[in-house]
Amino acid sequence: MKNIWKYILTGFGVIALEWLFLAAFATWFNGMGELGGIVVGAAFFLAFEMVICTGAIIAKVGNKEK
């Protein structure tokens, strides 16, 4: 139960990071329109998050094999 708070706080941190990501991409890609910038920002953030999660999973699996 003690570790659950660590994961909840990590989740809130990820949500805050995604809000910043979406706000930045909506202004960076302003030639696409607001909706297009948000969609591209969400796609980039999900790709970034998948890379981080995959690295964490591979690191956990690598540690269990040793």
Which range of residues forms the domain containing residue 33?
2-65
- For the chain, helix (H) and strand (E) counts, in that order, are 2, 0
Name the residue with tokens 């591979």.
Answer: 58
pLDDT digits (tens, 9 = 90+) for 6-26: 777 878 888 888 888 777 777
Q: Give pLDDT, residue 31.
A: 75
Q: Quote the number of domains for the chain.
A: 1
How many Å apart are CA 12 and CA 5, to the nearest integer? Answer: 11
| Report field, pTM of the whole predicted structure over 0.85 | no
Task: Say if residues 41 and 24 touch (Cβ distance below 8 Å).
Answer: yes
